[in-house]
Structure 1
Amino acid sequence: MEVSSNTIIEEFDVIGVTIATSGSENDVDKLRELMVLHHLDIDSLVNEWGAFEMTQGGIELSQETLAQFEQYLNNNSKKTPKTLKLPPKKNSYSAKKSGNISLLAERVARDSSEASELIDAYSTPVAKSKNKRQITPDNRINKRLASVNGSPAVPFSPASFSPTTPSTGKYSTRRNPGQVIATFGDSKSVTWASDNQHPCSVKPYGERGVLETDKYSFMMEKIVDRVNETISVTCTCLLLPVMDNILDDIGDRIKECHGVENLSPVNLQSAEPSTVLGRVYCDSVGRLNARSVVLRGDIDVSGRAAAPMQLDKLTSYSLFPGQVALFEGMNSTGRSFVPTTLLDTPTLTAPAARDATLKRLSVVMASGPYMTSDSLGYEPLADFVSYLQSHPPDVCIMFGPFVDAKSELIKDLSDVTYEQHFTKILEVIGQAVENLPLKVVLVPSQRDIHHPGIYPMPPFNIGKLNRELQKRFYCVSDPSTLNIDGLCVGLTSTDVLFHMGAEEINLQPKTADRLSRLTEHLLQQGSYYPLNPPSEELNVNYEKYEVYSRMSCTPHLLLLPSELKQYTKSINGCLCVNPGRLSKGQTGGTYARILVQSDSSAKAGFTTVAEVVRI
């Protein structure tokens, strides 16, 4: 069936790609033609464009880029190695804007240069390899000897890190910096800078709000702890009890909401209507669709039995793998369950009204990467720090990646380790905000190449910083639930919206807006990552997943950085924000700012205003 033009435009709008009104039909027709030629559905087409856009860096959709996209699809299997781009030449830049960053970067460059000379003094000269990788197509250059304006081109040199040398690419010529692209509330007359004389308190919300590093020994489970009594030792047994416990908890909440007392096994043949509880799965390896839905029941009633589902009689649904749901329907043949009603899943209870010492709370957040794809200059980070200096908030939340595993420039670092690279970044940030009364919260990312790639992810270890700088930062796990001056804040750097969006199926869902619908699933399932099986990018430790990936309540504020379109929305009383990425390819991205003000007349005891702004 041919996909409508409106559907194509809406799906591309979700990932932040606008198809212009003028000439849009030609663009849409070309996209529809590519779908047919390459046997792609609309979701696959959007995903392919996202991958293509990342290789190009911040391009706009046009007839010219569509031609390049078509060539990309034709040559998708033939990937050529990428070459390292040398740092750009030094340009003039305002000393006032660079501030501490420029001075610190020069010190880092000097230390790194001295370290390189020391290594050379103790090393034995060797013959050049015949197969040595070329840094540029025409010249064989030793990266440690390459120079910019006569100085060694080392990571974090003034020519490649400080804002005194902005990128010569699209970042320096980007359009509309400071433009507000999403708002919540009336922000016209808002002063975003903090006016508080006392520091803001930041701590875990409850006993299990933040995963503690010293109690986290991942990949160290004992066999006896992983084996369930009723399952063979050869199975990956920890997954099943964890999923059973989560299913029971959510199921009890749904049954209580709808007054359901008796459940039937999902595979029980009966001529009478029945109510069944289970978890949605796909019947094979691949993407879920309306003909491949399987419902696996709980252990108490169904004994973990599974039954295929026929969704033909459902007039409205939104389903994804791992979703816990309660259905009413019939299994007259014993071979498949035919649901007629999908009962709504209630959200968790909201926390009590904000009990705060500060009447006015300012929060700013940004998500990495903090460098563009064509420069190690970290210009987006420098501009973001400049904003913090001119509009200091009470709390700044910074999501990874700080050392991006997807960056070719990061992968080719040679003179410093990834950990040292990360430490230098924190030194830059810490010294730039050392005189500001704010707390910087650091959240790790699955893309941080220097940090353990496990979910839930432990906090950063910043023990190599001096004690004064350590006081500037507060490290939390991914995900975390924080108490920020009485405000319950849930956050995760894992792109759960993107992962769920690629797997969800729907038919005339009650919540038409896709981003709102995906976010609402998180609140209904009470989890920061309800998708199961998880994305192939995620390595899950289910022992910690059961404890730390679940929400104890519906937070006041939910922060979900994602590759999808930035937004600020109130969903079931929770302000949900996707600040986007601070950089996108070769150009700039966005960050978000939120102002919370005490209001005794409001139900939660406060009102909020939020904006997503271009860097």
Structure 2
Amino acid sequence: MTQRNEIVAKFGEPADEPKVLAALEDLMKIHSLEAEDLYIKWEQYAYQRSGKATELDLATLDAFKQNIQQQIEKKSSLSGGQSSATSSAVKKAKVLKPNVSSPSLFGFGMPRTPTLKKRRVDLTPTQPNEYQKRDATATDSGTTLFTPTNGVIDNALSSMPSPSLNNPDPGKTVETLNISDIDVADGLDIDGDKTLKPSPFFEAAKFNFRTLRQNLLDAADVLDEQLEMFIRAVQEHYKLSASDIGDPTVQSQSVITVVGRIVPDSPATEGILNTESLALETSRLTGVGRRVQLNLEKVHEVSLFPGQIVAFRGKNANGEYFMVEDTLQIPHLNFPVSTSEELLAFNESMESRPTKMAVLNGPYTSSNCLDFSNLAAFIERINAEIRPHVLIMHGPFLDTTHPLIASGNIPEFPELKIQPRTLDEVFTKVISPVLRQIDARIQVILIPSTLDTVSNHAAYPQNSLSRKHLQLPKNFKCYTNPSTFQLNEVFVGCSNIDAFKDIKEVVKGGNTCSKNRFDRIAEHILTQRRFYPLFPGGIKKKKVIGDDGHERWEHISGADLDVPYLGLTEFVGNILPDLIIIPSELTHFARVVQNVLFVNPGMFMRPSGVRGTYAQISVSPPDLLDGKLTKIEGEDDVYLHNLWKRCRVDIVTA
């Protein structure tokens, strides 16, 4: 097919006019575009004009040409750096606020340790280690095999300090929640035989699906079902009928209630959004899936992000945008409850002793080696000093983005007579022996990461690891990502994907801006009723130069979402967990938001080789007489767990 025929096939009969055809061919030549790519840009341009004339003529093509030029200049300014006038913007004075755990009514004013200032640690490089390079020679069950050769790792990596020398102050508490009310639990009784058995609260079989085989119709059905679920929740909460939910894309002078998903107003939008670049996507039933631009001039306070499902009141008076006049709060799910008999049984099973948990987050080795001696030393402390009833370990254990693994420079392991041939064998021969040193009475829960080399699932939600394949004992429990499980009366939700880092908000309003960012995102997670409410997922990319000399973006990491299975990321049983653990690369924290305890334990090992932090959680036994449990009105002997009242969280250096 000739270029002319391709253009006419894409743009239709108007493109067959000689002058129009010549103008389109010039655009393709100037910007090195194929007919398909130019037509996609034309569709985007037509959508941005919001119903204005987009006939394919010379006048419209001239405006289209200017639009393409503006996009190129905008991308160039973003990639090439900002001018000194914009980059040296005046910084606002930092407002001092009381250091409290949560802006919510019930968690406000909870005592916390003062924030510690960051201090530099002497990281004087030690003598670089020698590593044997390995070249890929064969494959076994889809895993790359390596054979040893002579050589050393890159100088930039080998110049980093040895990880075993970088534990400046182990066991130091850097932050505490509920410091004045609850003592640190003693943990596992050395002479006793009482153990705490976690109970999974999810259907593991549903996670056993094949990833990266998404069907477009299935993905669309799931996204639409999310909207319909929230429409039903808003109708029930605000006592609305089906006719009260209107279509925001239709011009009308009447104020209507709408429920939809926040999306960028243009498919080509990149970077951080603002209040002028948002649109609302409707469901199939209410608006045939159409989108309409949002006008937030009348809204005083709002916090929005892509993928968020919202409820608004307003009207579309001119047919071009929906004027939001009021925001409606999405109703929260209910909290878990237990009867007095159940609470007494849980109390007796623990002999009225507090429960102790320890939470770790990978990686477990520095970026210049695959030395797990720090983890081995920490496990000695787990057995002798910390002694938790439950140890929750989040991946990655072997990170696919680790420089040595990504480059194939797998080092020799001197302690092994037979060197591992695959990455799975690196886990079973190097990491599993370390993990097996954990006391058999301690229940260990492993939550995988999408970056784990030993995981068959590279997308979220993610199936669990295989305990037998990893050669781990029976006190190890391999759970899915995300997963919800029960520890006595406490419902714990774990999600090993960095929602706190990925969610970039559009914030407007004094009170909303004054809230801590962690609190705002935690409230979004509770309101959206799922562990990762962002859509599409936050992806990290880097610019690389290909073999052809052209620049391109390469995917590094991020939330690769398996959209047809996003229902598995929702809170199980339509109840909120008492405790939600979401590890993040951002600063560690423990906060109470809407009576739910959120914990980020921090990274166990930083890339530089310095040990990070972990979370130590002490839970007082349920006592019906101390006033910390709330009795449900109208119910006989049914109580809220109120974990945030009877739980102490310590963020401790590893």
Corresponding residue of 1:567: 589
Match of 1:388 among 382, 391, 397: 382
Give the corresponding residue for 1:290. 275
TM value normalised by structure 2: 0.65
* Aligned pair partner of 2:193 in 191, 197, 213: 197
Instruction: Write the distance in 2 (CA, Å) between the matches of 1:265 and 1:311.
Output: 17
Query: What are structure 2's unaligned runs of at least 5 residues?
Result: 1-80, 90-116, 138-146, 412-418, 540-557, 631-639
Distance 1:40 1:528, change over 3 A: farther
CA offset digits 1:211-242 (Å, max 9, x no partner): 556x4233456xxxx4xxxxxxxxx2222210
Q: Which amino acid aligns with 1:286?
A: E
Aligned equivalent of 2:260, options 274, 278, 302: 278
Q: For residues 549 and 425 of structure 1, do their structure 2 counterparts lie closer, same or farther at Cα, with a shift above 3 Å needed? A: farther
Equivalent residue for 2:365? 371
> What does residue range 567-606 of structure 1 map to in structure 2 within 5 Å?
567-586=589-608, 587-597=610-620, 598-600=622-624, 601=627, 602-603=629-630, 604-605=640-641
Aligned-residue offset at 1:499: 0.6
Please give the alpha-carbon distance, in whole angstroms, between the structure 1 residues aligned to 2:205 and 2:603: 24
Cα distance in 2 between the residues matched to 1:498 and 1:454: 18
Picking from 160, 178, 183, the partner of 1:185 is 178
Shift of 1:425: 4.5
User: Bigger shift: 502-511 or 438-447?
Assistant: 502-511
Is the counterpart of residue 413 in structure 1 residue 397 in structure 2? no
Partners of 2:293 and 2:151 lie apart in 1 by 53
Query: Separation in 1 of the partners of 2:167 and 2:326?
Result: 50
Deviation string, structure 1 residues 330-364 (Cα, Å, up to 9, x no partner): 21101100102111122211111374343432111
Task: Give the residue type in structure 2 aligned to 1:439.
Answer: Q
**Corresponding position of 2:580:** 558
Moved more, 270-279 or 418-427: 418-427
Whole-Å Cα distance in 2 between the matches of residues 38 and 216 of structure 1?
Answer: 52
After superposition, the C-alpha distances for 1:269-326 in whole angstroms (9 at most, x for unaligned) are 1222221111100123313221110001122222212110011111000000011100
Aligned position for 1:230: none
Decide whether aligned partners of structure 1 residues 386 and 212 sit closer, same or farther in structure 2, where only a CA change above 3 A counts.
farther
- d(CA) in 2 for partners of 1:369 and 1:439? 21
* CA-to-aligned-CA distance 1:147-200 (integer Å, 9 cap, x gap): xxxxxxxxxxxxx9xxxxxx9447624543322222211367323422363221
C-alpha RMSD of the superposition: 3.3
Deviation per residue, 1:355-379 (Å, 9 max, x gap):
4343432111100000122332224
Q: Secondary structure at the match of 1:497?
A: helix
For 2:229, give the aligned amino acid: D
Structure-2 separation of matches of 1:399 and 1:41: 40
Is 1:301 matched up with 2:286?
yes
CA contact (8 A) 1:317 1:508 kept: no
Secondary structure of the residue aligned to 1:376 is coil
Give the deviation of 1:497 after TM superposition.
Answer: 1.1
Aligned partner of 1:87 in structure 2 is: 129
Say which SS state the counterpart of residue 577 (structure 2) adopts: coil
Q: 2:323 aligns with which of 334, 338, 347?
A: 338
Larger Rg over CA atoms: 2
Q: Does 1:240 align with 2:220?
A: yes
Cα distance in 1 for partners of 2:335, 2:383 equals 34
Match of 2:210 in 1: 217
What code does the residue aligned with 1:409 have?
A: L
The answer to whether the 8 Å contact 1:367/1:398 transfers is yes
Count of paired positions: 461
2:467–2:477 CA contact under 8 A, matched in 1? no
- Structure 2: distance between partners of 1:300 and 1:271: 21
Partner SS for 1:554: coil
Q: Distance in 2 between matches of 1:490 and 1:573?
A: 14
Tell me the amino acid that sits aligned with residue 590 of structure 1.
T
**CA distance in 2 between partners of 1:36 and 1:508 (Å):** 29
Structure 2 CA distance for aligned equivalents of residues 445 and 239 of structure 1: 23
Q: Which amino acid in 1 is paired with 2:366?
A: T
Aligned to 2:103: none
| Counterpart secondary structure, 2:199 | strand
Q: Structure 2: which amino acid aligns with 1:368?
A: G
User: Match for 1:329 among 306, 310, 314?
Assistant: 314
Hey, what's the Cα distance between the residues in 1 that align with 2:129 and 2:487? 40
- Per the alignment, do residues 438 and 38 of structure 1 end up closer, same or farther by CA in structure 2, a change over 3 Å counting? farther
Cα distance between partner residues in 2 of 1:252 and 1:186: 42
Task: Give the gaps of 5 or more residues in structure 1.
Answer: 1-33, 43-58, 66-84, 90-108, 117-125, 139-159, 161-166, 227-235
What SS does structure 2 have at the residue aligned with 1:328?
Answer: strand
The CA distance in 2 between the partners of 1:86 and 1:464, in whole Å, is 34
Asked if the contact 2:211/2:458 (under 8 Å) is kept, the reply is no
Distance 1:242 1:319, change over 3 A: same
Secondary structure of the corresponding residue to residue 428 of structure 1: helix
Amino acid corresponding to residue 623 of structure 2 in structure 1: D
Contact 1:457–1:478 (CA under 8 A) maintained in structure 2 = yes
Shift of 1:385: 0.9
Measure, in 2, the Cα distance between the counterparts of 1:329 and 1:212.
40
| TM-score, length of structure 1 as denominator length | 0.68
Map of 1:469-548 to 2, 5 A cutoff? 469-500=472-503, 502-510=504-512, 512-536=515-539, 537-548=558-569
SS in 2 for 1:432: coil
2:463 equivalent in structure 1: 458
Q: 1:35 to 1:190 in 2, by over 3 A?
A: farther
8 Å CA contact 1:423–1:462 kept in 2: the answer is no
Q: 1:277 to 1:599 in 2, by over 3 A?
A: same
The code of the aligned residue for 2:359 comes to: M
CA positional deviation for 1:547:
3.1
- Superposed, 1:239-278 pairs within 5 Å as 239-261=219-241, 262-278=244-260
2:454–2:465 contact (8 Å) kept in structure 1: no
Deviates more, 1:179-188 or 1:366-375: 179-188
Assess if the C-alpha contact under 8 Å between 2:440 and 2:475 holds in 1: no
TM-fit CA distance, 1:475: 0.2
- Which secondary structure state, in structure 2, belongs to the residue aligned with residue 456 of structure 1? coil
In structure 1, C-alpha distance between the alignment counterparts of 2:205 and 2:178, rounded to whole Å: 33
Question: Which residue of 1 is the match for residue 647 of structure 2?
Answer: 608
Q: CA contact under 8 A between 1:380 and 1:582: conserved in structure 2?
A: no
Q: Which whole-Å CA distance do the structure 2 matches of 1:337 and 1:476 have between them?
A: 44
